Structure 1
Amino acid sequence: MIAFLPAITLSGFWIGGELALVAIALGIPVLYALGSAPGGGLLDLDRPLPDLIDGATAGDLAQKMLENAADAKLATACVMVEAEGLNDLRRRTGDDVIEALRAVMLHRLQGLLRRGDRVARLGDARFMVLLGPSVRLDLEALLTLSDRIQRALEEPVETDAGTQFVSVAIGFCGSNRLRGKASGDALTEAARTALTEALGNGPSSIRAWSDTMQAERNARKSLMSEVERAMAKGQIRPWFQPQLCTSTGAISGVEALARWLHPERGIVPPLEFLTALEDAGQMDRLSEVILEHSLTALREWDRQGLEIPRVSMNLSDVELRSAKLVDRIRWELDRFDMPAERLGVEVLETVIADSPAGRVAQNITALSRLGCQIDLDDFGTGHASITALRRFTVHRLKIDRSFVTRVDRDEEQRRMLAAVLGLADRLGLETVAEGVESVAEHALLAQLGCDHVQGFGIARPMPQEQLVDWAHRHAERIASAQNIGRGAG
């Protein structure tokens, strides 16, 4: 419009004189303003949309759709769709296959929708669908549509790398579920919240937005902010749970477990804050804190003459993907002048089973070569092969508590546990039984050949200072039992 302004003005003057010139001078700014208003340019819903848009544009498009629906006294809705597992697929097949999948998914979505509906891609694996004004967009109708979208997008796709299968999660919100005069940003955010809920509930989930869901999301955001501050203030640190040798009864190690000492709520359970730390991208920082405090505790126990051979710490899949992990651990061990053999690294069986190659495998192998002891945690709950146990140089199997519970009273449970212990023995691996709750379980595990035990029946996790007192009392109990044994002889 601005580019043609001089020509339009001059023509108006020659054809209509001064009155025409005045009309043009007054009218062109109005036309320009209308062309720049929401709904003009790229935001005109009557024009084709770009394949890829950003969040701000998505909110503006939703705002325009809401206004159109309100003018017609009808409803609209926003549907968020995400293809799950594309990052893993990219590592196996490459970027070209992913681009082909995106194109197919976008084409399929466009083929499902009506003339007044709009669809665009929001990110690497996410698509947004805006439904044109309609009389019937209740929960049942939106669930039916979401199911149709999911079934269409989960149909196999033929690519140069072979047939590809993708699972799809969907979250949606209808405008009639929002209170008051909601904005386009509110509509898209509600659909994102529902999608986040769907992604957290397993593959191929579909979720509708609700007030309760938003309240829970707000609570999670608040917890994320609070847990980040707690990390900065040193409120999150390790407590230590002893592990005992079944042959001697002596302490064979301790496991470092993260605890949040909240100034008002007291001890916050790990399940409440570990997820928040992961969502906040703070898991690497958590491992740094746990490692530093664990090595500090180990050095202090040595100074006090306490015999604790090693401390073990858990590393999640997120932490094991860090390119700096091995160098950071090596540097900390050097700083504390601590042999690597005194640091145990606990890795979930599911992590090893799901990561036969790549950064996770490289880090586990490098830590083993450094001298750290690798413990396979929750053994029996995943599907790691025997080959994987040898490839990753696992030193100990931590037998999941599901194998230990009621082992002294359940014959079938006892046979299953004996089979696991026999396998470990043949592979030359030590074993640690978790979740030991009673003296009877402890005694039977020793009889079956389990090397180490750990659980509330022995001791709960405790602060560094409290462990010193517990260890001294435990040593006295062992000495007393030995004296009694010699006296009886």
Structure 2
Amino acid sequence: MGNKLTWTNNELEDLVRQLGIALEASGIGIWQHNIAKNQTRWDDQLQRIYGVAKGEHDVIWLESVHPDDCPGASTIFKAAIANKSDYASEFRIIRPDGEIRHIRSRAQYFVDGQGEACFIGAEWDVTEDALRNQQLAKQREAAEQSRAEARYAADHDSLTSLLNRRAFDDAFARLLQASEPVASLCHIDIDRFKEINDRFGHGGGDTVLRHVGSVLASGIAGGEIAARLGGDEFAVLSLSPEPDRMREIVARIRQDLHKPVFIDGEPFTVECSIGYAHASGADVAALLTSSDIALYEAKKNGRNRDQLFTPALAEKRNAEKQMLQELRSGLHIGEIVPFYQVKVRASDYAICGLEALARWESPKGLRMPGDFLELAAANGLMDAVDDAVFRRVIFDINRWSMAGIKVPTVSVNLSAARLGDPSLPGKVSALGIAPGQISFEFIETIFLDTLSEQVKRNIERIRQLGIDIEIDDLGSGHASLLGLLELRPNRVKIDRHLVLPILKSETQRRLIGSLIDIARTLEIEVVAEGVETLDHARLLAGLGADTLQGYAFGRPQPAQVTQAVLETAAARKMENAG
């Protein structure tokens, strides 16, 4: 019996020794807590984990727990006591040397041999795991933040922070997938944005774009989107079923745009053209086209205005597209031709010049400049129109000259932008124009800014070719006296709108008299256009005009009729001389 007890005791000691070695190797500390006596017993390993050397029954646990974790850890332990359940918790401790460690604690409830409620538990240091998990969590958060930033960058315009074109298109595509879609859309273009860039530089242009973006962002509600589609083009999409909602948005945009933005300390009011449309059902698919048609109309009618889409606008736009196609074809096959209007000397009404005016001899009948020149300008065809008229004028002059007709100087309208084309003098020179045959007539808006060196060189070379320079519409409001001084054209034309009222208006007569005096001071000839009656002619001659042009002496006529007019004038001159 004694041997058996000794063996059992030895075996127990071995097991205890083995357990101690295992616990020490694992770093696990053991504790036991007597609930009734509120006494806690720690083993050596747990004391090493906490960095303390306490007495056998010291209650020190909560004193070591990190203040931020203490309430939670205490609550969990109290709940286990109340429920007589297992205990599990993780918390931080602060060791006496100030080091913070992460602890994982597990315990089981039991009743000891004296019938007293107790917990026996184990704790181990999981600081490395906790820190590793924290690092992984930060990396995951950083990765998610990076993905979020990438998604934002992919969907938003970097300058204005509005949605970009791709994200807008995606939103519109989702709208079309709805069973009963309804929406309103407005297109917004900044008016004369190129001029803003030219005036303030691209930095100023960016300031304007950001300003418009801010205005749009502040003018929309939840569920509505604002986007920069590219360049100076923006859009706002509303899913409200009420058509008036977009009117409210447009009104808000107008109100906010009225407040100036400061560019390099200078206040500047941004002007925009806006086209908008409302649709439901299958018509929603055409919203982009509808709002764009409305925007085009707003621009065409003077810019800085709003235009609501209507079916009539669509019909009008389709007609313009058809006309544009016909115009391109007409330019290709020579349907754009000059009609000639005579100019006469104010002193004796003898023909002294012609003006070539563009006409379109289309299969649908003769079309006047008002029918197609604006369309040509809006679609980059003015150079082609100018060239078509100019080449036909040269052809007519040569044909008339070969017929023995002495052709007076022919004025040919040329868009002001062509005057800055470096190749213009070379192209003109290649046509072999005789000196005195041609005069280039420009609208005076070219003098709004100082003439560039290229324009000055072109003008000098054109004059060396024997071609005169005329300025159209003097007095229409764009004239610059400094520009006239710098350019010194051969002649200027007084705008017809000033000429028409002179029979009844003393003010208009004084104004025209002043313009003529200025021109004479600069040794520039004066042509008065819009002369509809001989009374106009006599009055303008008395005011000092050199040349007259208008219905009183003839309407614009095709080349064949003009040839007959020139022949008749030449014959009459010979008769008078005889």
- TM-score using structure 1 length: 0.79
Aligned partners of 1:442 and 1:328: how far apart in 2? 38
Q: How far did 1:258 drift?
A: 0.9
1:313 aligns with 2:407: no
The answer (yes or no) to whether the contact 2:155–2:166 under 8 Å persists in 1 is no
Structure 1 counterpart of 2:434: 338
Structure 1 counterpart of 2:477: 382
1:454 aligns with 2:454: no
1:402 aligns with 2:497: yes
Q: Report the AA paired with residue 377 of structure 2.
A: E
Structure 1, 150-159 or 419-428: larger mean CA deviation: 150-159
Structure 2 counterpart of 1:466: 561
Deviations for 1:10-42, whole angstroms, at most 9, x for unmatched residues? xxxxxxxxxxxxxxxxxxxxxxxxxxxxxxx99
Which one of the candidate residues 307, 330, 352 is aligned to 1:207? 307
Aligned partners of 1:215 and 1:115: how far apart in 2? 35
Q: Report the AA paired with residue 439 of structure 2.
A: G
Structure 1, 471-480 or 194-203: larger mean CA deviation: 471-480
Q: 1:457 to 1:193 in 2, by over 3 A?
A: same
**SS in structure 1 at match of 2:407:** coil
Aligned partners of 2:419 and 2:284: how far apart in 1? 41
Aligned partners of 1:316 and 1:276: how far apart in 2? 14
Q: How far did 1:59 drift?
A: 4.7
Where in structure 2 are the equivalents of 1:6-25 lying within 5 Å?
Answer: none
The answer (yes or no) to whether the contact 2:156–2:164 under 8 Å persists in 1 is no
Which one of the candidate residues 355, 366, 377 is aligned to 1:267? 366
Structure 1 counterpart of 2:199: 92
1:105 aligns with 2:212: yes
Q: 1:430 to 1:374 in 2, by over 3 A?
A: same
Q: How far did 1:419 drift?
A: 2.2
Structure 1 counterpart of 2:230: 123
Q: How far did 1:163 drift?
A: 3.4
Structure 1, 278-287 or 51-60: larger mean CA deviation: 51-60
Aligned partners of 2:460 and 2:270: how far apart in 1? 31
For structure 1, the residue ranges without an aligned partner over 5 or more in a row are 1-40, 484-489
The answer (yes or no) to whether the contact 1:172–1:209 under 8 Å persists in 2 is yes
Deviations for 1:28-82, whole angstroms, at most 9, x for unmatched residues? xxxxxxxxxxxxx99xx999832288878755532323445x55x7x32111111
Aligned partners of 1:112 and 1:361: how far apart in 2? 48
The answer (yes or no) to whether the contact 1:378–1:399 under 8 Å persists in 2 is yes
Q: How far did 1:365 drift?
A: 5.9
Aligned partners of 1:87 and 1:359: how far apart in 2? 20
Where in structure 2 are the equivalents of 1:215-294 lying within 5 Å?
Answer: 215-263=315-363, 265-294=364-393
Structure 1 counterpart of 2:188: 81
Aligned partners of 1:274 and 1:233: how far apart in 2? 17
Structure 1, 157-166 or 230-239: larger mean CA deviation: 157-166
What is the identity percentage for the equivalent residue pairs of Structure 1 and Structure 2?
28
For structure 2, the residue ranges without an aligned partner over 5 or more in a row are 1-146
Aligned partners of 2:413 and 2:165: how far apart in 1? 37
Structure 1, 87-96 or 109-118: larger mean CA deviation: 109-118
1:414 aligns with 2:513: no
Q: How many residues align?
A: 426
Aligned partners of 1:472 and 1:392: how far apart in 2? 35
The answer (yes or no) to whether the contact 2:213–2:228 under 8 Å persists in 1 is yes
Q: Root-mean-square deviation (CA), in Å? A: 3.0
Structure 2 counterpart of 1:353: 448
**SS in structure 2 at match of 1:181:** helix
1:439 aligns with 2:539: no
Aligned partners of 2:320 and 2:166: how far apart in 1? 23
Aligned partners of 1:47 and 1:234: how far apart in 2? 51
Q: Report the AA paired with residue 438 of structure 1.
A: T
Which one of the candidate residues 158, 173, 189 is aligned to 2:289? 189
Aligned partners of 1:411 and 1:337: how far apart in 2? 43
Q: How far did 1:390 drift?
A: 1.3
Larger radius of gyration: 2
Structure 1 counterpart of 2:140: none
Aligned partners of 1:54 and 1:366: how far apart in 2? 48
Q: How far did 1:290 drift?
A: 1.4
Aligned partners of 1:362 and 1:113: how far apart in 2? 52
Aligned partners of 2:332 and 2:506: how far apart in 1? 49
Which one of the candidate residues 418, 424, 429 is aligned to 2:519? 424
Which one of the candidate residues 50, 64, 74 is aligned to 2:156? 50
**SS in structure 2 at match of 1:256:** strand
Q: How far did 1:420 drift?
A: 2.0
Deviations for 1:399-456, whole angstroms, at most 9, x for unmatched residues? 1112222534544433332222222212211011111122222233223221111112
Structure 2 counterpart of 1:4: none
Structure 2 counterpart of 1:63: 173
Which one of the candidate residues 302, 309, 317 is aligned to 2:401? 302
Q: How far did 1:376 drift?
A: 1.1
Q: How far did 1:154 drift?
A: 4.1
Q: How far did 1:117 drift?
A: 1.5
Q: Report the AA paired with residue 439 of structure 1.
A: L
The answer (yes or no) to whether the contact 1:150–1:169 under 8 Å persists in 2 is no
Q: 1:407 to 1:108 in 2, by over 3 A?
A: closer
Q: How far did 1:327 drift?
A: 3.1
The answer (yes or no) to whether the contact 2:474–2:493 under 8 Å persists in 1 is yes
The answer (yes or no) to whether the contact 1:109–1:149 under 8 Å persists in 2 is yes
Q: Report the AA paired with residue 385 of structure 2.
A: L
Structure 1, 229-238 or 358-367: larger mean CA deviation: 358-367
**SS in structure 2 at match of 1:437:** coil
Q: 1:434 to 1:112 in 2, by over 3 A?
A: same
Bigger relative CO (Cα 8 Å, ≥ 6 apart): 1
Structure 2 counterpart of 1:143: 247
- TM-score using structure 2 length: 0.67
Q: 1:452 to 1:358 in 2, by over 3 A?
A: same
Q: Report the AA paired with residue 523 of structure 2.
A: G
Aligned partners of 1:393 and 1:454: how far apart in 2? 22
Q: 1:362 to 1:121 in 2, by over 3 A?
A: farther
Q: How far did 1:369 drift?
A: 5.7
Deviations for 1:69-109, whole angstroms, at most 9, x for unmatched residues? x55x7x32111111112101111222222123212322332
Q: How far did 1:187 drift?
A: 0.8
**SS in structure 1 at match of 2:477:** coil
Aligned partners of 1:381 and 1:371: how far apart in 2? 28
**SS in structure 2 at match of 1:405:** helix
Aligned partners of 1:407 and 1:379: how far apart in 2? 16
> Which structure is higher in strand share?
2
Q: 1:182 to 1:409 in 2, by over 3 A?
A: closer
Structure 1, 215-224 or 311-320: larger mean CA deviation: 311-320
The answer (yes or no) to whether the contact 2:184–2:240 under 8 Å persists in 1 is no
**SS in structure 1 at match of 2:476:** coil
**SS in structure 2 at match of 1:450:** coil
**SS in structure 2 at match of 1:114:** coil
**SS in structure 2 at match of 1:134:** coil
